[in-house]
Amino acid sequence: MKGVKVIAISLLAVLFITHKLLLPLIISYYEEDCYMSKTKYGAYRLFFQRIVTLYDQLEQVYWVDSGLLLGYYRLKDMLPYDGDIDINRIHVPSKEAKFDKRFQAGMRAFPETYGNAMIAKMNFTDSSGRRTELTADLFRYQIEVINGHKVVVNYWNQHITNTSKYQLFEKHFEKQIPYEVIFPLQRLEFLGVTASFPNNIERLLSIRFPTYKVPLPYKWKCYLPKANAIVIIFLFVAAVVTAWKVMPLRKQRQSHRTRIVTLPRNNLLNIGANPTHATMF
């Protein structure tokens, strides 16, 4: 029973730390409602179309990736519980400055839309009249040869790799993707526009998400839709209180355990005991 309590406490603590501290730190939209509204979905479609249109006009080598790619694989649509757009692009150092300038100008040409070479934003008004900001992660990649194999890897500016967020989290999710998984790119219809996709979608998903075939949402609000932080905090406090009660009991039991000591030889002889044995009390 004691072991079960310890395991239960540990699980509650891990759940609290994961869902209230780590995941919100890594995923900016993690605390949002599980499923997006129709208004928000429509805004994301428009946002995606604007970025893809600009990328095509600027002749960029790009592809849909991560959660957005998972949505295409499962639904041929955006996942209803997703919270951003994921598009990767090949970084060309000699052309990056010119691209960044033209991309920023192109983003500003669209209403309430702005961005640069690494991230884009779009503001819209949701069904409740609240102003909301959408995000597109525009990761940059480069092609390298490592150990004789052609791979596609992340490209980061030094000021990003020096941040604590990168050192603690992001660098551990970096993958060396075989070149043939991404290239040659294929053109597919998605979210109302023709966009570039990786050559082997399922292989890339298996690299990104080992459990990509399990169609379960990852947000805790998808399972406790009417709950909020108070519920999670209550569980964590319950775990701490339980631990506080269990630890004294463990110490008390340890103090009553049988102790083994060796008495002096003359005492053992007086009580007729074998002097090579210990007396227990």
Residues 240-257: pLDDT tens digits? 666 666 555 555 555 555
* pLDDT for residue 104 is more than 70: yes
pLDDT at 51: 97
Task: Decide: pTM greater than 0.85.
Answer: no
- Fill in the amino acid letter for 169: F
Q: Which of 3-17, 38-52, 220-234, 255-269 has the highest mean pLDDT?
A: 38-52
pLDDT at 48: 98
Angle between helices 93-109 and 38-57 (to 10 degrees): 130
Q: Cα 81–87–93 angle (5° rounding)?
A: 155
* pLDDT for residue 197 is more than 90: yes
Cα–Cα distance measured from residue 120 to residue 138, given in angstroms and rounded to the nearest whole number: 7
Q: SS3 for 187?
A: strand
Q: What is the largest CA-CA distance in the chain?
A: 103
Residue 83: pLDDT band (50, 70, 90) is confident
Residue 276: pLDDT band (50, 70, 90) is very low
* pLDDT for residue 25 is more than 60: no
Q: Report the b/e string of 74-109 with b at 16+ CB within 10 A.
A: eeeebbebbbbbbbbbbbeeeeeeebeeebeebbee
Contact 193, 48 (CB under 8 A): yes
Residues 199-250: pLDDT tens digits? 999 999 999 999 899 887 765 566 665 555 555 566 566 666 666 665 555 5
> To the nearest whole percent, how much of the chain has pLDDT over 90?
51
pLDDT at 215: 81
**27 or 106, which is more confident?**
106
